[in-house]
Amino acid sequence: MISHKENQGKGKALKTGFQEAQRLGYQYVVTLDADGQHHPEDVPLLVAEKGEKTLVVGSRSIRGKDGGSSFANKFSNFWFTLYTWIKLPDTQTGYRLYPLRELPSLRLLSARYEAELTLLVFSAWKGLKLVPVPVQVEYPEDRVTHFRPGKDFTRISILNTLLLFIALLYGYPRTLFRKIGHSFRKI
């Protein structure tokens, strides 16, 4: 088991975990939040959808569970669709199956919470197929979360502004050229 002596943020934890899994020769990594909301018995549902160029995204049904999370998820889903032209039901979930060989550069990851959104956006721009899979969710009363609504929402808003500029200069053209290339290959 690996760990950081001090909390360095979710993005740093993901980066460290991915690098260790790659070092050990693994092809896939399943991530889930440590606050007790995800059910480990749903892992086989994600594994059943794995593929070389496929990032499997757990999709929580969060209606009525937590109003704040529902708003944040809708907000994130809107921006994600705007950047990638892909509609996902849950872009804020930490329950995912990543194909390690296909991950975008880990150098782009911030150390904090918004790293997962960055991974999702850059994976879409890289051409990975994003597959949502319904998973169970439960919010225990005694759960510990390190999400800081004010600070993290501000960080996510800044990230959304940056991603919009990157989408205009990189994401949209890359997606368009990939679609054109697929069209020519069919001829």
Which domains occur in the chain, in start order?
A: 10-186 (3.90.550.10)
Compute the distance between CA of residue 173 and CA of residue 177 in angstroms, rounded to an integer.
Answer: 6
Contact 55, 99 (CB under 8 A): yes
Sheet holding 54-60, edge to edge: 28-31, 96-99, 54-60, 129-135
- In this prediction the pTM is 0.84
> Which residues in 48-170 belong to E strands, given as ranges?
54-60, 96-99, 129-135
Q: Which two tokens stand for residue 47?
A: 């594994």
Query: What is the tens place of the pLDDT at every residue in 10-65?
Result: 889 999 999 999 999 999 999 988 777 888 999 999 999 999 899 999 998 765 55
Q: Which two tokens stand for residue 51?
A: 């593929």
Nearest to 100 by CA among 85, 118, 84, 119: 119
